[in-house]
Structure 1
Amino acid sequence: MHFNNACFKIISISFHIKTPILVILLWHNCLNICVPNTRIGTVFGSKNIGVNYFVRKGAYAVIFKNQNEIGLIRTHEQQYFLPGGGIEKGETAEDALIREMLEETGYSIKNNYPFCHAQRYFMSTLPVKRPMLSDGYFFISQLDQKIQKPTEKDNYFEWINIKECEKLLFHVHQYYAVQQALKEKGANH
């Protein structure tokens, strides 16, 4: 049998593997995650009862340069993220992604294929310390053309070796999306 590492992280973080039945149910559920039009995505981290989480819905792009490189955003704090960001009121996820790409990189994107939804509960430290739920909608996109200079001065778009993503990406659910995009890309070739 093949085991999905992301699912074991969910089980061990959220439920501490209390019963074999729970493990089987969660593992089975994870095998069917991240297909187009999925309503419920994979969840990372633990939701603590009685804690009020700030929910930040965001749209993010997985952009491949070639078989070995992926585009990531490096912040001035030396943290890495997938390109994208928060969905503003009245925006679709794709509209937010297009806007965020222009702000962060100055590039337009094309052929945006929604393929995955994943979330992460964590304690944010920027801009303020507070419990957050990062609710991510992920697209496989292609870099198009340079339209403008980036308006977010503390973000730098870089091509990174795919093998470095697990170590570099700040959010585990973004790394999970990269893994799913690689599977999706492999299935379409």
Structure 2
Amino acid sequence: MITFGEFELGISYTSRPGVYGIILNENKNWIALIQTSDGKYFLPGGGMEGSESHGECLVREGMEEMGKLLEIGEWIGNAQRYFYSDKDSQYYLGKGYFYRAEIVGDSGEPVEADHQLRWVETGIAVKMLFHEHQSWALQKALTMIGKQ
């Protein structure tokens, strides 16, 4: 598995597996991102809960973050990142599982009011994503569809 960030000796990392969707528009030149209230950008998706499958996690996260029904698609890959969260004051090993995904409907108002859906040009989005392993996944997805 590709790893980003630096492992620091003596630090206890909390493992955080999550599932994320690469959601492109019809022409595949814009991508759906989530902007949080602190101005950071992320791929739609998030941490797995309990015994959720990858598909169940992505569907739940789509409803919570975007108010959208998502359908999981083609596997892109997985990568991880060591990082420190100022918000949680904790060290994490974020393990990302990345898929192409599509919006297939609305589910109502998003549950997470501090998350906003933004459509961003793919070339710019690669540089805007907060997590390096999410940027890697977007670049890989664009290469797979011949857009990079």
| TM-score, with structure 2 as normaliser | 0.93
In the alignment, which residue of structure 2 is the partner of 1:62? Answer: 22
Q: Runs of 5+ in structure 2 lacking a partner? A: none
Larger radius of gyration: 1
Secondary structure, counterpart of 1:149 in structure 2: coil
Matching of residues 35-184 of structure 1 within 5 Å:
41-65=1-25, 66-126=27-87, 128-184=88-144
Task: Report the identity percentage.
Answer: 37
Q: Which has the higher strand share?
A: 2
Distance 1:185 1:146 in 2: 26
Please give the per-residue CA displacement for 1:57-88, whole angstroms capped at 9, x wherever unaligned.
10000000123100000011111000000000
- Check whether the contact 2:35–2:115 (CA below 8 A) recurs between aligned residues: yes
Highest RCO, 1 vs 2 (Cα 8 Å, sep ≥ 6): 2
* Number of positions where the alignment pairs a residue of Structure 1 with one of Structure 2: 146
Letter of the structure 1 residue corresponding to residue 60 of structure 2: R
Secondary structure, counterpart of 1:78 in structure 2: coil
Distance 2:123 2:143 in 1: 14
| TM-score, with structure 1 as normaliser | 0.74
Please give the per-residue CA displacement for 1:28-76, whole angstroms capped at 9, x wherever unaligned.
xxxxxxxxxxxxx210011122211011110000000123100000011
